[in-house]
């Protein structure tokens, strides 16, 4: 399985913090934000990772992460021109992915809790075409929202609805196979002018091709000032309890 980290976008919700730097370089407790999704992928046993960059300070992201060899990964990069959505960014990794299954983690997602390696192995060995981690939030209208049937099966996802049908959202960890690129090619932009990952997930639901599991740990998206603070508090609590490992990324040299 290969990995993708999405580290583009304009980060308007974090102005003025992002006026002169990339959002993913902002600190979350004791390390830059982008360390967390890379740690998530490394924890799954993934070693080949593409970082999709965009927006400000792209060179600083590359300088920080380099080729990844100093923390056991093989990193490569691709530039996304403009904020065209998660699905569009994933589509840029088609040649990198090749024939492999892959996991995409959003660069502002902070996950603390159960290891995801067993879920990655379950998806890779199973029949599903796409997979999503679900999480309960108090403000689902900010996200894509899952609609469930009486048995708890996902009927579909709706992007940023005014009236959410549940409080379960797909967080920024997506498992996919190469045929997802064909799905992405057929997408049309949403009303926001973006190619939505929820449309990709919805494609697989009618035939039972969606792998969905509720994440039982703690999660924050760090995309707003309040959630940036919450993410730092989660990391600080882990550190106080002895659960926060030292940064796996060490200085080069």
Asked if residues 157 and 201 have their Cβ atoms less than 8 Å apart, the reply is yes
Assess if residue 197 is contained within a domain. Answer: yes
- Domain residue limits at 18: 2-240
**Cβ of 249: how many Cβ atoms within 10 Å?**
21
Assess if residue 65 is contained within a domain. Answer: yes
* Mean pLDDT along residues 146-163: 94
What's the chain's average pLDDT?
A: 93
Assess if residue 149 is contained within a domain. Answer: yes
- At 221-246, the pLDDT tens digits run 998 999 999 999 999 999 999 888 87
Look up the CATH number of the domain holding residue 43: 3.90.550.10
Assess if residue 248 is contained within a domain. Answer: no
- Answering whether pTM is above 0.85, one says yes
Looking at residue 9, its pLDDT comes to 79
Assess if residue 47 is contained within a domain. Answer: yes
Please compute Rg for the chain using Cα positions.
Answer: 17
- At 80-122, the pLDDT tens digits run 988 899 999 999 999 999 999 999 999 999 999 898 999 999 9
**Cβ of 244: how many Cβ atoms within 10 Å?**
17
Assess if residue 50 is contained within a domain. Answer: yes
- Where is mean pLDDT largest: 141-155, 171-185, 186-200? 171-185
CA-CA distance, 110 to 28, in Å (whole number)? 9
CA-CA distance, 112 to 207, in Å (whole number)? 32
The number of distinct structural domains making up the chain is 1
In the numeric block, the tokens 């999405």 are attached to: 6
Looking at residue 153, its pLDDT comes to 92
Assess if residue 246 is contained within a domain. Answer: no
Asked if residues 6 and 79 have their Cβ atoms less than 8 Å apart, the reply is no
DSSP secondary structure string for all residues of 121-182: HHHHHSS-SEEEEEEE-S-GGGSEEEEE-TTS-EEEEEES-SS-S-SEEEEEEEEE-TTHHH
Looking at residue 48, its pLDDT comes to 98
Local confidence band at 248 (pLDDT 50, 70, 90 cut-offs): low
Assess if residue 42 is contained within a domain. Answer: yes
């Amino acid at each position: 399985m290969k990995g993708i980290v999405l580290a583009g976008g304009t980060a308007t919700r974090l102005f003025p913090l992002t006026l002169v730097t990339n959002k993913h370089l902002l600190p979350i407790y004791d390390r830059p934000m982008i360390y967390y999704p890379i740690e998530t992928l490394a924890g799954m046993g993934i070693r080949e990772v593409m970082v999709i960059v965009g927006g400000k300070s792209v060179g600083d992201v590359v300088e920080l992460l380099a080729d990844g060899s100093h923390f056991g990964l093989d990193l490569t990069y691709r530039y996304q021109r403009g904020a065209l959505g998660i699905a569009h960014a994933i589509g840029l990794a088609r040649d990198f992915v090749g024939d492999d299954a892959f996991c995409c983690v959003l660069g502002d997602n902070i996950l603390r809790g159960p290891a995801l390696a067993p879920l990655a192995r379950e998806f890779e060995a199973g029949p599903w075409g796409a997979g999503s981690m679900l999480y309960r939030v108090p403000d689902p209208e900010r996200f894509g929202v899952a609609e469930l049937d009486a048995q708890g099966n996902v009927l579909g996802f709706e992007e940023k609805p005014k009236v959410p049908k549940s409080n379960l959202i797909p967080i920024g960890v997506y498992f996919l196979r190469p045929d997802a690129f064909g799905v992405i090619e057929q997408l049309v932009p949403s009303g926001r002018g973006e190619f939505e990952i929820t449309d990709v997930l919805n494609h697989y639901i009618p035939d039972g091709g969606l792998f969905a599991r509720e994440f039982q740990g703690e999660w924050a998206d760090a995309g707003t000032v309040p959630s940036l603070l919450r993410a730092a508090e989660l990391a600080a609590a882990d550190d106080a309890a002895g659960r926060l490992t030292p940064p796996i990324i060490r200085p080069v040299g």
